[in-house]
Amino acid sequence: MATYRIRHCEQLSGEVSIHSAKNAVLPLMCACLLTREPLTLERVPALTDVHTLLSILTDCGVSVRRDGDTLTLWAEEPKSPTAPDLLSRMRASVLVMGPLLARTGYARIALPGGCAIGQRPIDLHLKGMEALGAQVQLTPGSVTLQGRLRGGSVYLDFPSVGATENILLAAALASGSTRIENAAKEPEIVDLCACLARMGVGISGAGTGEITVTGATQLHGCTYRPIPDRIEAGTILCASAMTEGSVLLRGIRAEQMRAVLFKLEETGVSLRETPAGLRLTGRASQPIQVRTLAYPGFPTDMQAPMMALALRLRGTSVFMETIFENRFMHAREMVRLGAGIRIEDRIALVSGGGVLAGTTVTSTDLRGGAALMLAGLAAEGETVLRDPEGHIARGYEDLPGMLNSLGADIQAEEEG
């Protein structure tokens, strides 16, 4: 159980380096199941989700070597995982399904868990596996897939990030060519495709809605460095904009976060790209309207941190969440700090600019937890943020440490 004691903060300034993207690293780790040769990933962030996936991969028979933040994974004879409780802890664990099935002709996995931000079914993943020739059998709490995969055509009813990744991973070893229509376009998809291409898969169309994959009979290992985390970067930018900030982010790719940068500019802060990184200066003031969408739209993972920023904006900001149906849980906790937020179904109206007062709040999910940490910076006095399930550490490598290096005062306490 983690507890954070957060003091009010008027100014953040300084420089921080952004870690590699959690959402890029997790699918890349699963790519190791496609080959008996070692896959080496560089600059892997120290996250609980990475740790959990390592345990799942170990359970799948993968050997792991760590050297600092470099991770080498070998899957000589992979097999289906046996520990259902590990899979139920994180949604991304479903990404072992595609590569295991493609490599061994069989995969049995417990249905995945993760943040309770919506129903999060895996029907699109299964539809993709069926299109590649798998027989799918659903039993309560688990799914079994069998069959030698061959290329096929898949149309996704929604451009699901996870389903696109799972199908890419499966198609990599399927015989012939696979076409994914209405594929997700997120930068993390492009990153996975770049790594798969290096391993020997033929891929075109990554980053567009139509991806074509030419499977290989055998793939190689490679060494790969994942892209920087656009959500971590966006979270730090929101924190800075809540204060009289001047913060330089090193190691980001601004072109992968245009939607967030445009919204930040609408709040009145100044953003400048320099050879050293991206600098945000000034305090945000103007209210905004945010509608979450698939990439290149505004990312749902930034909705909560942006709502924390909206608490500081003068006037009413509007948030419409179109991706997940239960992603305003943090708003209830923000109200405990004195925020004026009204929720109508998938719309949140945030009346910003009022005084917030520190109290005890509870982390609701990964991004919601980070947003509450930011809200704590804005609240007068001390905010105690309880994170009994360790949500924040699942996806941020030392967020309090990063904010403290910019001048915040956040004390992290671990118990139990």
Considering the complex, what minimum distance in angstroms separates the CB of residue 179 from ligand UD1?
A: 18
According to the binding rule CB under 6 A, does residue 92 interact with ligand UD1? yes
Distance CA 373, CA 371 (A): 5
H helices of 1-122, in order, are: 22-30, 48-59, 84-89, 97-104
Please identify which residue in 23, 40, 240, 267 interacts with ligand UD1, judged by CB under 6 A.
23
According to the binding rule CB under 6 A, does residue 52 interact with ligand UD1? no
According to the binding rule CB under 6 A, does residue 120 interact with ligand UD1? yes
Tell me the residue number closest to ligand UD1, measured at CB.
162
In this structure, the number of other CB atoms found within 10 A of the CB of residue 374 comes to 30
Residue with Cβ nearer ligand UD1 (101 or 163) = 163
Binding mask 263-302 for ligand UD1 (x = CB under 6 A): ------------------------------------xxx-
According to the binding rule CB under 6 A, does residue 89 interact with ligand UD1? no
Distance CA 101, CA 81 (A): 12
In this structure, the number of other CB atoms found within 10 A of the CB of residue 40 comes to 18
According to the binding rule CB under 6 A, does residue 118 interact with ligand UD1? yes
Size of the site for ligand UD1 (CB under 6 A): 23
Distance CA 164, CA 280 (A): 33
Q: Which of 32, 60, 115, 238 is catalytic?
A: 115
According to the binding rule CB under 6 A, does residue 391 interact with ligand UD1? no
Please identify which residue in 86, 96, 154, 163 interacts with ligand UD1, judged by CB under 6 A.
163
Reading phi first (left if > 0) and then psi (alpha if -120 to 50, else beta), residue 356 is in: beta
Residue with Cβ nearer ligand UD1 (216 or 348) = 348
Does the annotation count 9 as an active-site position? Answer: no
Residue with Cβ nearer ligand UD1 (326 or 359) = 326
Residue with Cβ nearer ligand UD1 (38 or 297) = 297
According to the binding rule CB under 6 A, does residue 161 interact with ligand UD1? yes
Burial code of 161-187, b = ≥16 C-beta within 10 A, e = fewer? bbbbbbbbbbbbbbeeebbbebbbbbb
Nearest to 95 by CA among 43, 157, 22: 22
From 1-9, 113-121, 221-229, 240-248, span contacting ligand UD1 (CB under 6 A): 113-121
Distance CA 97, CA 88 (A): 14
Residue with Cβ nearer ligand UD1 (160 or 364) = 160
Please identify which residue in 32, 47, 62, 124 interacts with ligand UD1, judged by CB under 6 A.
124
According to the binding rule CB under 6 A, does residue 350 interact with ligand UD1? no
From 36-44, 120-128, 132-140, 369-377, span contacting ligand UD1 (CB under 6 A): 120-128
Cα–Cα distances in angstroms (integers) from residue 233 to residues 36, 146, 190, 256, 385, in the given order: 35, 40, 19, 11, 21
Considering the complex, what minimum distance in angstroms separates the CB of residue 302 from ligand UD1?
A: 9
Rg (CA), the chain: 21
Distance CA 177, CA 131 (A): 12
Please identify which residue in 91, 108, 263, 394 interacts with ligand UD1, judged by CB under 6 A.
91
Torsion of CA 302, 228, 158, 91, to 10 degrees: -80
Contact 128, 166 (CB under 8 A): yes
396 half-sphere exposure, CB direction, 13 A CA radius: 27
User: Per DSSP, what are the bridge partners of residue 130?
Assistant: none
From 30-38, 131-139, 158-166, 238-246, span contacting ligand UD1 (CB under 6 A): 158-166
Name residues contacting ligand UD1, limited to 164-223 (CB under 6 A). 188
Please identify which residue in 14, 121, 141, 202 interacts with ligand UD1, judged by CB under 6 A.
121
Packed helices 366-378 and 303-310: angle between N→C axes, nearest 10 degrees: 20
Considering the complex, what minimum distance in angstroms separates the CB of residue 118 from ligand UD1?
A: 5
Which residues make up the interface to ligand UD1 (CB under 6 A)? 23, 26, 91-92, 118-125, 158, 160-163, 188, 299-301, 323-324
- Catalytic annotation, residues: 115
